A and B are shown apart, each in its own frame.
Chain A
Amino acid sequence: MSRPTTESTWPFDLKAIVYNMAFFLNGLLLFLLVFEEQFTVPGWLQPLGRLHPLVLHFPLVVLLLYAFWVLLVEKPDSVRWHQQLSEMLLLLGVFTAVIAAFSGFILSHEAGYEGETLFWHKWLGIWISVGSAAWFGLIRYLPPWKLYAKLVAGSMVVALLIGGHLGGNLTHGEDFLTGAFLPSKEDTPRVAMEQAFVYEHLVQPVLEQKCYSCHNDQKAKGELRMQTQDLLLKGGKNGILWDTTQANLGLLISRLHLPIDDKKHMPPRGKPQLTDEEVVLLAAWVKGGSRFDQKVAELEATDPVYAYAQKVIGGDRQQDHYDFEAASADQIAKLNTSYRLIAPLATGSPALAVNFYNRAQFKASDIQDILPLKEQVVSMDLSKMPIKDEDLKLVGQFTQLRTLILNFTDLQGTSLGELSGLAHMKLLSLSGTAVKSQHLEPLKRLPALQKVFVWSTGISPQELAQLKWPNGPEFQSGFDGDTVVIALTPPVIENEKTFLKRGTQVSLRHQIPGVSMRYTLDGSEPDSLLANLYKGPITIDKNTNLKVKAFKPGWLGSAKRDKLFLIAGQPIDSVRLLYEPEKKYSALGAAALNDGIKSDAAMGSGKWLGYRNTDFGAMLHFDKPVTLSSVTLSMFRKLDSYIFPPVKIEVWGGPDEEHLKRLKVIQVDVPKEKSLNMSNISYTTDFPSQDLSCIKVMAYPLSKLPVWHPGKGEKAWIFIDELLVN
């Protein structure tokens, strides 16, 4: 046994003791290696083996340190070199290396380590241990400034790095170091639900992520390897993996279910655990017979495996995959305007959807401007824009289009051929355009086309029925109103007021184009032939009941709409009621009669004066005498609510209340059974024109309802809301 240096300053020769021990252990190690087959690790040595992951770091660092030191020294008298210190360093390396190698040797005999990686790691470790001891032994022949010393140091560095890396792979798995650069396993498997296999696309990825690192060819803990179907079926040291006759479904599943603190729980504490969903998946798969050939599509929708597949494979969120480059966000932002919205389909998606708004703002150059995005736009909605046939030339350049909506554009359809380069197009909507059947021919060249909407176009139902191309798209129409005959809505009478100044013009309107509106002013029913045809505003110069109806070929005539117009001529300066109205229908009292407001046709509107137990009487005063020739009462009838016309109306006039004479009396017939139930009505009393300062108006309610009425014999009501004098 040679000693590298004779000089020692230590009290007792510690260096020699350490080196000798290392030498001894190396010898022992080599011995055991020779007889490895017969060697079994005694129980008490096991803890030493498990110290390997701790101890190995010492020689690794110390030997690297020494080797680099050697590599750095250039010349014999270098101040960087310290003989004694360097020797101590190397010795420390030698000693810890042999401990590490020895413990590693013991650990490798525990179950679960085998394979090529282990083989290389073991031999490299032993080489480092033995080699470093030899290095120490030869240290005086290897001064660091010599080339061959540097070669030795260099080879040691290489051995250390490779050996260390292999050891790391054994512990953490092959992909541990490079995992970040490998395609992520978390990625959704790129397979459609219809094609997916339960084992290959769902179960295997879980095993791969959570189990393979300890149960593979390199490291088969419990003698279990899981990478292939055969290996799974074979099971491990403790037997086969599943047993559906057991309640716990056998080893695999029961180990997953054990509490995490349990020694037998899998994966062991500290390793990535399975999620609850993954456990459910594996259990359901085992329970279903752990089949390797089952397809996801064969499962019931309620099966937990199916639910898991939907989540992982994305059955519920099938997204198209686009393989083109995204446009820059700046460019997209720049091309967005208030009337042209461009947005990606989803965050991070390169595919863009474009939508145009506001016909009035649209210019053909709006499409031209976004040509830089023609490789990205997959959906374009141009509905209602004034698109002409020639504009399709531009649209046809957007080769990635899947959806194109051209509803209610000005398209005639002559240039659909411009779209024939759109190889991805699935949905084309032409509804509301003038497209004709023969124009559709070029669409045959669109291989991906699935649906074409042609509702409300120039294509007749018969032509549509013939539009069936082999492997062609489905042509969809929609609601065809021709077979449905319904009544028009009545026209709208634009003037909402009832009390008008003489000569006011009233307009009619109808929302449906091409409707003819006919009206009468004399109270007769308007018909489609004889009644006045509305051509322009109607002038109202007397109290009028305007009745209108709408007509159009292909439709039933509308119901009648009517409106009473009363001429409010002379302002009344003051009104006084002679009798109180019934409390419930007292409105605003006398003031209601000259407020110029027409009450709603509803008795409860709160604007009607109602009389039943007393007559209606009102005294009208004018500050200066005025020339008058008529008084109009605006009233209401609703027979089923006991509101009847008055039986008699009297108008008195004179210079003051004391000197009134009766100017006019009207007798009103009691309505017959089945006559008009509800209506606004008016009674105008005409009398010879004369100057008056005071007028008295009386109206008498019916005292006994007629026999046909449910309330026969009872008193009737009268309702009044306005008095107009002219």
Chain B
Amino acid sequence: MEKQVFDFGMNTTRRHFLSKMSLGIGSAALGSLLVPDIFKGGEADPSDIIAGLPHFAPKAKRIIYLFQNGAPSQLDLFDYKPMLNKMHGEELPESIRGGQRLTGMTANQASFPLAGSMFNFKQHGKSGAWISELLPYTAGIVDDLCFVKSLNTDAINHDPALTFFQTGAQVGNRPSMGAWLSYGLGSENKNLPGYCVLLSRGKGNGQGVYSKLWTNGFLDSVHQGVQFSSGENPVLYLGDPEGMDRTQRRNMLDKLAELNQGTLDEFGDPEIATKIQQYEMAFRMQTAVPEITDMSKEPESIVKLYGPECLVPGTYAANCLLARKLSEQGVRFIQLYHQGWDGHGKLPQEIRGQCMDSDQASAALVTDLKQRGLLDETLVIWGGEFGRTNYCQGKLEKDDYGRDHHPRAFTVWMAGGGIKPGMVYGETDEFGYNIVKNPVHVHDFHATILNQMGLDHEKLVFKHQGRRYRLTDVAGKIVKDIIA
């Protein structure tokens, strides 16, 4: 037997060995063609997931989200309820409230007197949408807008509701909508961040805005929102220091990138790659940002359109104008926050001021995008984190009332980006308290927005700590009726 083995070994020639080998390799090669991933090893490369996006051709390329922070009163702006005026001062019927929860601020109130809006409503445009006299400019563009009157959310207080709206979860640390979009679609313009945040403050009762609202969460930090400064220079520390010219800066960055690359090769920490990218982007931003703040390329009528406040840095109007310029430059997601809508008391007085800030500039933004042929590909969204109650918080007086938080029904408008223009969707009961037709939950709203951006909300996932996460968690239906 031993001899046979020996003989076999001796008789196996190199030619024989190689020809057998090639057959074996051939079969393995054929096999690998049939099982494509077999030699890929381990986890799927995350860049492959990204390469598969967008899932389908997007209607909207960019989003400008005009967040009215603090929750504007839908009952004084959009959701016209004559019944409330008729029953002004009477008690909110229990059959309407149905024992639903209230905030700690009014839960112990002895009575819940209904408060009709002080402001006159009129129907506007072909869609016949009801708009209050507080928003004359918005009323002028209703046929470009889609009002969703049946938005509803889970949270009843500002922080969780804001966090829910921005990240799809009430607890913090999940990636925000803009971060998801940056992750899913990348940046359009490589010279500017893909996700910018602009803050402004009205005179009304304000609520905080925190950087967790534009966090990247567990996504790569390159997807984080970049907050622009409200001063004359929206991006700080961008200029070269005195005595350093562009070439020197370039050389310095090249050297630095070389060092960083070395460390990256050694340790493979993706954060180092992010760092390299961001230095490069900052270098390009040095020429891109001045172009954005430059007013000389804007026709004079722009100031009249947005109102003169748009020349005052840090105002809502200036931010709207800046948002338009950024979006024109390919920034994927521009998030504005305008504070001051939290009308618990003195609502009529406060909301007047807030509308003065917001009305003209918001409408101007839509008009401006439209006249540039960009409204079709830019989705503009206007709305707060929840609505306000139909009953009065505190004492109901002849010309004064306050409204508490109301998460069960509120109004948001959208324009452009493949959303049907001139439409009113959803309906509340005659007390404006409960939704009676076509409710749209925040998850549905997110699903619809992602859909407009060419993303399937069920497929845009990120695996973190053993679980796959989505912006819409495990819910969300696309609101097909409002899609053009």
Contacts and interface: CB of A to CB of B under 8 A. Distances in A.
B57 to A, nearest CB: 4
Interface in A18-62: none
Contact of A480 (B301, B330, B451): B301
Given A346-B58, A481-B301, A455 B371 contact: yes
A359 interface: yes
Contacts of A315: 480
Given A341-B188, A357-B288, A453 B311 contact: no
Most buried by A among B51, B52, B297, B300: B300
B373 to A, nearest CB: 3
B478 A349 contact: no
A456 B301 contact: yes
B55 A479 contact: no
A349 B57 contact: yes
Contacts of A361: 287
A233 interface: no
B171 to A, nearest CB: 32
B372 A429 contact: yes
B189 A355 contact: yes
Contacts of B309: 489
Interface in A452-480: 453, 455-456, 476-480
Interface in B338-394: 364, 367-368, 370-374, 376
B264 to A, nearest CB: 20
Contacts of B295: 511-513
A432 interface: yes
B124 interface: no
Contacts of B89: none
Interface string A419-453: 00000000111011000000000000000000101
A310 interface: yes
Contact of A489 (B189, B288, B312): B312
A432 B299 CA distance: 8
Contacts of A489: 303, 308-309, 311-312
Contacts of B307: 486
B57 A487 contact: no
B284 A487 contact: no
B328 interface: yes
Given A346-B56, A481-B300, A453 B483 contact: no
A599 interface: no
Contacts of B301: 456, 479-482, 484
B330 A357 contact: yes
Nearest to B301: A481
Nearest to B303: A512
A513 B309 CA distance: 16
Contact of A360 (B54, B58, B287, B480): B287
A275 interface: no
A431 B371 contact: yes
Given A480-B301, A489-B311, A358 B371 contact: no
A427 B374 CA distance: 10
B191 interface: yes
Contacts of A408: 297
Interface in B49-67: 51-58
Contacts of B291: 358-360, 384
Contact of A479 (B328, B367, B376, B480): B367
Interface in A314-338: 315-317, 319-320, 338
Contacts of A488: 308
B287 A347 contact: no
B329 interface: yes
A347 B52 contact: yes
Contacts of A520: none
Contact of B373 (A341, A351, A407, A512): A407
* A interface SS class: loop
Interface in B117-151: none
A588 B275 CA distance: 43
A307 interface: yes
A484 B308 CA distance: 12
Interface string B49-93: 001111111100000000000000000000000000000000000
A217 B364 CA distance: 65
B329 A456 contact: no
Contact of A513 (B288, B296, B376, B451): B296
Interface string B293-325: 001110111111101110110000000000000
A429 B372 CA distance: 7
Nearest to A455: B371
B373 A427 contact: yes
A383 B328 contact: yes
Given A347-B54, A357-B189, A358-B287, A476 B371 contact: yes
A451 B374 CA distance: 12
Given A341-B190, A347-B52, A512 B311 contact: yes
Interface in A552-573: 554
A453 B56 contact: no
A456 B367 CA distance: 13
A317 B418 CA distance: 10
A410 to B, nearest CB: 11
B83 to A, nearest CB: 26
Nearest to A408: B297
Contacts of A358: 191, 284, 287-288, 291
B454 interface: yes
Given A359-B291, A453-B373, A488-B308, A478 B367 contact: yes
Contacts of A346: 54-58, 454
B373 A345 contact: no
A405 interface: yes
Contacts of B480: 307, 310, 315-316
A301 interface: yes
B190 A431 contact: no
Contacts of A341: 188-190, 330
Nearest to A355: B330
Interface string A525-569: 000000000000000000000000000001000000000000000
A316 B59 CA distance: 10
Contacts of B54: 346-347
A595 to B, nearest CB: 23
Nearest to A484: B304
B45 interface: no
A277 to B, nearest CB: 13
A300 to B, nearest CB: 11
A292 interface: no
Contacts of B245: none
A477 B371 CA distance: 6
A383 B374 CA distance: 11
Most buried by A among B52, B307, B364, B371: B371
Nearest to A310: B480
B371 A345 contact: no
Contact of B56 (A319, A355, A407, A455): A319
Interface in B164-197: 188-191
Nearest to A314: B56
A347 B53 contact: yes
Contacts of A345: 57-58
A347 B49 CA distance: 11
B308 A338 contact: no
A316 B297 contact: no
Given A384-B291, A489-B308, 17 more contacts: A307-B480, A316-B451, A317-B57, A317-B451, A338-B284, A339-B190, A346-B454, A349-B57, A358-B284, A383-B372, A405-B373, A453-B373, A479-B301, A481-B302, A481-B304, A484-B301, A512-B295
9 contacts: A315-B480, A316-B451, A316-B483, A357-B190, A357-B329, A476-B373, A479-B371, A481-B305, A489-B309
Interface of B: 51-58, 188-191, 284, 287-288, 291, 295-297, 299-305, 307-309, 311-312, 328-330, 364, 367-368, 370-374, 376, 451, 454, 478, 480-481, 483
List 6 A-B pairs, minimum CB-CB distance, nearest first: A478-B371, A481-B301, A429-B373, A455-B371, A481-B304, A346-B57
